Structure 1
Amino acid sequence: MVDQFLWVIFPYICMAIFIFGHIYRYRTDQFHWTAKSSEFIEKKQLMIGSILFHLGIIPVILGHVSGLGIPKSWMHAVGVNDHLYHIGAIYVGGFFGFMTLLGMIILTFRRFTIRSVRMLSSASDLIVNSLLLFIVIMGMYATLVTNVVQPEFDYRSSISVWFRDLFFLRPDPALMSGVPMSFKIHVLAGFAIFALWPFTRLVHVWSVPLIYVGRSYILYRKHKTN
């Protein structure tokens, strides 16, 4: 029953909240769609952390897409054997994962330790920063530690198959029974961040400056002066 909830019900709940939450947020709260900037308070740590995080997270996401979305047999068909894939996942993935981790540490440290930034932050900002940092840490641990301690484990024969089957409405929780705990925690935390996404500053990922072209209104914010 627990496995059924964790690996069937919970992922679908998170995906439903992600989709309908975005629709609701956009229809009811467009003025607060973009993230509040704290650049005017502290710029150096923000710049360094953001650059590291964004340069690292894009290859990490692409790696997740290829690892979870592309079947192992397809990789073999184009000449990428298991050994070559493993080297790429450990070394290339580890490099960009470490870059992402370092960026998240700087950004999270900044948000929690600089008083003026923390005061500007909402509770959701602090939760998202903490959860993202936790997800990256668990991902790095699974990649660099679990894969070394349990080299016989191949997530492409378990997690990847289970993940793809979610989209065909036939997920098999039994595929996750033998998955190491670090991978399980990383997966569950990943789905949790998708459920939180529509209600946090993460929605600014979808914002494109061009959407402001042609708008017939401008939002002004009045600052109180003492």
Structure 2
Amino acid sequence: MPDFFNTLLFGIYPYIALAVLILGTVVRYDREPYTWRSGSSQLLRRKQLVWGSVLFHVGVLVIFFGHLFGLLTPIAIFDALGISHGAKQLLAIVAGGVAGIMAIVGATLLVHRRLFDARVRAASSPTDTMIIVLLWIQLALGLLTIPISLQHLDGEEMVKFMNWAQGIFTFNGAASAYVADASIIFKLHLVLGLTILLLFPFTRLVHMLSVPLRYLWRPGYQVVRERNRRAAQTRLPAE
């Protein structure tokens, strides 16, 4: 890939994608709060939705946090902990492979349901269909990187992507050089991932930011309408 395009795609495009992600999300939440939802069609073909959704979400969450911590954790921390690059590479292959298979099986069920069920298709917007198809392609590209990674079990290939990702967030102008000689599969995976971030504010994916985490620490029991129930009893006429 010529240096110009490599710099454009992996040195400039990441900042465009991140800027649109942040600003677009804020503007949408401020100006169109009623569109901030997942738009579920759960009443239609529910069994396939449940299986597809569970497999997809669990797999994607593992992949997301694996990429987040794996790419953005400074290499010095892994070295200080005694985790070799090869061990980290092998962990990424195994954990990422299992999570990737779960996610793509789930995504396949969701894509099939959305494209081949007339009722679901009628209830879907073009962006709903587009984003789930793009996510399926992204998962497929991620799985295709595994055979390539198996050829670099020393972990040095992964170090390139760690340096690239950390270079982007530290505004290293030469960050794109780290992935200049990477496999085309990895490059497609990176570009599509950035494109999904770019499209994030304009799709149903924004509902990811509204996860009700407060339910994790709320009390295990609730008193529901106790006062109203007693008030209603006092108003009942005597028999």
TM range (shorter): 0.7 to 0.9
The AA in structure 2 aligned to 1:37 is: S
Identity %: 32
Indicate the residue corresponding to 2:87 in structure 1: 84
Match of 2:194 among 191, 195, 201: 191
Partners of 1:188 and 1:68 lie apart in 2 by 16
Question: Deviation at 1:83?
Answer: 3.1
Partners of 2:161 and 2:58 lie apart in 1 by 26
Q: Is the 8 A contact 2:104 2:140 kept in 1?
A: yes
Aligned positions of 1:146-185 closer than 5 A: 146-149=148-151, 151=153, 154-172=156-174, 173-185=176-188
User: Is 1:64 paired with 2:52?
Assistant: no
Q: Is the 8 A contact 1:162 1:171 kept in 2?
A: no
Indicate the residue corresponding to 1:219 in structure 2: none
Q: Is the 8 A contact 1:67 1:156 kept in 2?
A: no
Match of 2:104 among 91, 95, 101: 101
Question: Deviation at 1:208?
Answer: 4.1
**Any gaps of 5 or more consecutive residues in structure 1?**
212-226
User: Is 1:145 paired with 2:160?
Assistant: no
Indicate the residue corresponding to 2:232 in structure 1: none
The AA in structure 1 aligned to 2:170 is: F
Indicate the residue corresponding to 1:3 in structure 2: 6
Q: Is the 8 A contact 2:87 2:155 kept in 1?
A: no
Q: Is the 8 A contact 2:89 2:153 kept in 1?
A: no
Q: Tell me, what secondary structure is at the counterpart of 2:200?
A: helix
Give the TM-score normalised by structure 2: 0.82
Partners of 1:31 and 1:170 lie apart in 2 by 39
CA RMSD of aligned residues (A): 1.8
Indicate the residue corresponding to 1:216 in structure 2: none
Residues 154 and 96 of structure 1, relative CA distance in 2, 3 Å threshold: same
Partners of 1:150 and 1:208 lie apart in 2 by 37
Match of 1:51 among 46, 51, 54: 54
Q: Is the 8 A contact 2:86 2:155 kept in 1?
A: no
Q: Is the 8 A contact 1:53 1:103 kept in 2?
A: yes
Note the alpha carbon deviations across 1:67-108, whole angstroms, 9 max, x for none: 211233321221212332232112222111111111111111
Note the alpha carbon deviations across 1:88-136, whole angstroms, 9 max, x for none: 1122221111111111111111111111111111111111011100111
The AA in structure 2 aligned to 1:109 is: H
Note the alpha carbon deviations across 1:186-214, whole angstroms, 9 max, x for none: 11100100110001100111124599xxx
Question: Deviation at 1:152?
Answer: 6.3
Question: Deviation at 1:168?
Answer: 1.4
Question: Deviation at 1:148?
Answer: 2.7
Question: Deviation at 1:174?
Answer: 1.5
Partners of 2:18 and 2:116 lie apart in 1 by 33
Note the alpha carbon deviations across 1:136-183, whole angstroms, 9 max, x for none: 1101110x2211345567333212111111111114222111111111
Give the TM-score normalised by structure 1: 0.87
Bigger radius of gyration, 1 or 2?
A: 2
Note the alpha carbon deviations across 1:33-65, whole angstroms, 9 max, x for none: 112120112201110011111221222112112
Indicate the residue corresponding to 2:230 in structure 1: none
